[in-house]
């Protein structure tokens, strides 16, 4: 069955016609062309498809698009501003927080939510928050360093 949903996608209000069987991952990636939303396990195990729904991280492969009517969706494309790279992304570049990059958009969204909700973070909190995001390449040390570096940028006011 086809229905219309109204969402705010990366700060832009939009109305989308979707099939009620479609997942949020399918709609974002296939219909909206947001290729940062990676398709991998499709079982909620890897976190590669993580996006924010009303500021909370979700595995978009497990969410039916019909359930996000009237909600705000943020993908990592939405972090960039007028072609300015987000300080969180810059921190990952500066600290070698990725290698192949497959897991990176999902990790960025989870880290972004963590940094926005927590005043204080430590390595343990970062690791706990990213436990649902599997990375086969980095060993996580540089990911944690990247999030710590992003926290410094946030605290200095370089954030949006
Ligand atoms: S593709 Fe969604 S959790 Fe792996
Ligand atoms: S950088 Fe390759 S899977 Fe994480």
76-133 confidence digits (pLDDT tens):
999 998 889 999 999 999 999 999 999 999 999 999 999 999 999 999 999 999 999 9
Please tell me the predicted confidence (pLDDT) of residue 83: 83
Contact by Cβ (8 Å): 133, 103: yes
Please tell me the predicted confidence (pLDDT) of residue 20: 98
Q: Is the CB of 96 under 6 A from ligand 2?
A: no
Helices (H), the chain: 24-26, 87-94, 104-117, 123-129, 141-155
Q: Which domains does the chain have, with CATH numbers?
A: 2-78 (3.10.20.30), 87-155 (1.10.150.120)
Of how many residues is the chain composed?
160
Q: What is the pLDDT of residues 42-68, one digit of tens each?
A: 999 999 999 999 999 999 999 999 999
Please tell me the predicted confidence (pLDDT) of residue 104: 98
Name the 3-class secondary structure at 107.
helix
Which of the listed residues 28, 34, 46 should we mutate to test ligand 1's pocket, taking the one with most ligand atoms within 8 A of CB? Answer: 46
Tell me the sheet residues that pair with 53. 56, 73
Which of the listed residues 37, 43, 57 should we mutate to test ligand 1's pocket, taking the one with most ligand atoms within 8 A of CB? Answer: 43
Q: In angstroms, what is the span from residue 99 Cα to ligand 1's centroid?
A: 19
Torsion of CA 75, 63, 3, 18, to 10 degrees: 50
Please tell me the predicted confidence (pLDDT) of residue 82: 81
Q: In angstroms, what is the span from residue 141 Cα to ligand 2's centroid?
A: 12
Q: In angstroms, what is the span from residue 104 Cα to ligand 1's centroid?
A: 13
Contact by Cβ (8 Å): 38, 30: no
Q: Is the CB of 132 under 6 A from ligand 1?
A: no
Tell me the sheet residues that pair with 58. 51
Please tell me the predicted confidence (pLDDT) of residue 81: 85
């Amino acid at each position: 069955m086809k229905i219309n949903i109204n969402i705010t996608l990366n700060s832009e209000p939009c109305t989308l016609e979707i099939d009620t069987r479609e997942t949020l991952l399918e709609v974002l990636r296939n219909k909206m062309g947001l290729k940062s939303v990676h398709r991998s396990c499709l079982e909620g195990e890897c976190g590669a498809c993580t996006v924010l729904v009303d500021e909370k991280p979700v595995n978009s492969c497990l969410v039916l698009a019909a359930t996000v009517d009237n909600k705000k969706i943020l993908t990592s494309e939405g972090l960039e501003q007028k072609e300015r790279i987000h300080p969180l992304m810059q921190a990952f570049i500066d600290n070698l927080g990725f290698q192949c990059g497959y897991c990176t958009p999902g990790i960025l969204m989870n880290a972004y939510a963590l940094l926005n909700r927590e005043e204080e973070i430590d390595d343990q909190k970062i690791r706990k928050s990213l436990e649902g995001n599997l990375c086969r390449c980095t060993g996580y040390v540089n990911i944690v360093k990247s999030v710590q570096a992003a926290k410094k940028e946030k605290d200095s006011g370089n954030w949006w």
